[in-house]
Structure 1
Amino acid sequence: MTDADTLLEEIAADLAPRGVTAGAMFGARALKSHGKAFACLKGEVLAVKLGAGTPAHAEALALAGAELFDPAGSGRPFKDWVALPADRAGHWGRYAERALDALGG
């Protein structure tokens, strides 16, 4: 298990009282609320669905190394999702919680 996997498990445990469950999305581990994914661990990157145009989305994109999430690497990223690299893991929990809030969970 990698440090990223361990951190995702910690985030899932912290958010479990809010009904968050672990699942899969894009062939990767994900966090879900009411069956809808709001965070996804792809390799050493955590992608969070913050909603394009929201303050949280803009703040996350302003972090060094953050970018729109392109799960297939096809050059067509998802506009609502921000990919946060492992060197920004200290921010993962906060943005996972904000993504859950955006989902209404």
Structure 2
Amino acid sequence: MNAEEDFKQVGAELADLGVRVSRMMGRPALKDQAGKVFASLQRDGAMVFRLVRDTPEHTAAMRLDGATLFDPSGQGRAVKDWVVVPHSWAGQWADLAEAALSRPR
């Protein structure tokens, strides 16, 4: 599957939890029941997840080969609660999305 199909699959797997597929800044995104984005598909086929730093989920995501902190500006100002996970780890995306969905507010 390609990244877009894998992203849609994650959305479908989490639909029973009130997740809906939407868009954020022109990119496919997953929103919770309150309408807040917690994951998004990037142009390069990676997926970015909101995972609270210093949690086991954030640490595990950062250990995946190629994972990085999200830098939306590309100017070296990473957003530490967002982790970019390459498409090569698409098999982990559903678990990461579920962790992002259930993150503390």
Query: What TM-score does the superposition give when structure 2 sets the normalisation length?
Result: 0.91
CA distance in 1, matches of 2:24, 2:54: 23
* TM superposition outliers: structure 1 runs of 4+ over 6 Å: none
Q: CA RMSD in A?
A: 1.5
Where does residue 80 of structure 2 map in the other structure? Answer: 79
How much does 1:66 deviate?
0.3
Structure (1 or 2) with the greater strand fraction = 1
How much does 1:84 deviate?
0.1
Q: Which moved more, 1:60-69 or 1:24-33?
A: 24-33
Where does residue 46 of structure 1 map in the other structure? Answer: 47
Where does residue 36 of structure 1 map in the other structure? Answer: 36
Structure 1 segments unaligned to the other structure (5+ residues) = none
CA displacement, residues 29-74 of structure 1 (integer Å, 9 cap, x when unaligned)? 1000011011010121100001111110011001110010112212
Q: How many residues are aligned here?
A: 103
Query: What TM-score does the superposition give when structure 1 sets the normalisation length?
Result: 0.91
Instruction: Check 1:4–1:103 CA distance in 2 against 1; reply closer, same or farther (3 A cut).
Output: farther
Alignment partner of 2:80: what SS?
strand
Q: Which moved more, 1:75-84 or 1:23-32?
A: 23-32
Q: Which moved more, 1:18-27 or 1:59-68?
A: 18-27
Alignment partner of 2:20: what SS?
strand
Identity %: 42
Q: How does 1:1-105 map to 2 (within 5 A)?
A: 3-33=2-32, 34-43=34-43, 44-102=45-103
Structure 2 segments unaligned to the other structure (5+ residues) = none
